[in-house]
Homo-oligomer: A and B are copies of this chain.
Amino acid sequence: MATDLFTHTVQHTLDVVGIFVFAISGALAAVRRNYDVFGMAVLAEVTALGGGLFRDLVIGAVPPAAFTDFGYFSTPLVATALVFFLHPEVERINVAVNVFDAAGLGLFCVTGTVKAHTYGLGLTPSVALGLATAAGGGVLRDLLANEVPSLLRWDRDLYAVPALVGATTVALLIRFDALDGVSAGLAALVAFVLRLLALRFHWRAPRAWHRRSAAAEGE
């Protein structure tokens, strides 16, 4: 089913684009932390491929695509070289990076959910793995940078929710037998737009009730 969704070339191109933009975000995080070129390459690889690697280990798709597809593996190295030589310029187009990152998020939550379901998992765990595919690389990036994963912080714009909405949409499409290239693309688009709106309007997720009232008192 997954292979019928898009033509292989389209799918592969979209994957490589998603990997590239995630890798840029990883390499930039390494520069901000003052890592050397090796740290940049490691963070680029981990950010771009970590989520899919986790998904593949869980569903038993070994060796994972990250290690069998040369394009997947080498793309983060290209991103690293780009950031290494041009990082002030890349920083300046931070808005563009955020837009590409949102596109990667939308794409990966869809392909991750589809791949997990193709390997026989139920719809709910497939949604969880779609979310893990989209957001897992960023969590690993933050762990390696010795920071609290921005996914978990309340003072960051919504990141998991758009991916969750996209993955859930895919699960519903599978459930009602309506998944095809167009509807999958629309699900990715929904996640993409939601993430852009969250960035634009600083949407945030609620914290536990008590915390919020305590914060309100503090204001």
Residues on A lying within 8 angstroms of B by beta carbon are 30-31, 33-40, 42-43, 53, 57-60, 62-64, 67-68, 70, 73-74, 83-85, 87-88, 119-122, 124-125, 128-129, 139, 143-149, 151-154, 160-161, 204-211
Complex contact B143–A209 (CB within 8 A): no
**Bound-state Cα–Cα, A7 to B146, Å:** 42
Complex contact B148–A145 (CB within 8 A): yes
Complex contact B87–A210 (CB within 8 A): yes
Residue of A88, A119, A208 ringed by the most chain B CB atoms within 10 A = A208
Minimal Cβ-Cβ distance residue in B for A30: B152
Besides A57-B58, A68-B121, 4 more A-B contacts (Cβ < 8 Å) are A33-B148, A37-B207, A57-B62, A59-B62
| A58-B57, A62-B60, A125-B67 known; A209-B73 Cβ under 8 A | no
Contact of A35 among B37, B121, B207 (CB under 8 A): B207
Residues of B within 8 A of A149 (CB): 144
Residues of B within 8 A of A145 (CB): 148
Minimal Cβ-Cβ distance residue in B for A72: B125
- Top-6 shortest CB links A-B: A39-B152, A60-B62, A36-B154, A36-B205, A67-B125, A146-B148
Complex contact A63–B125 (CB within 8 A): yes
Contact of A59 among B30, B63, B125, B146 (CB under 8 A): B63
Give the shortest distance, in Å, between A160 (CB) and chain B (any CB): 5
Minimal Cβ-Cβ distance residue in B for A143: B143
Complex contact A154–B85 (CB within 8 A): no
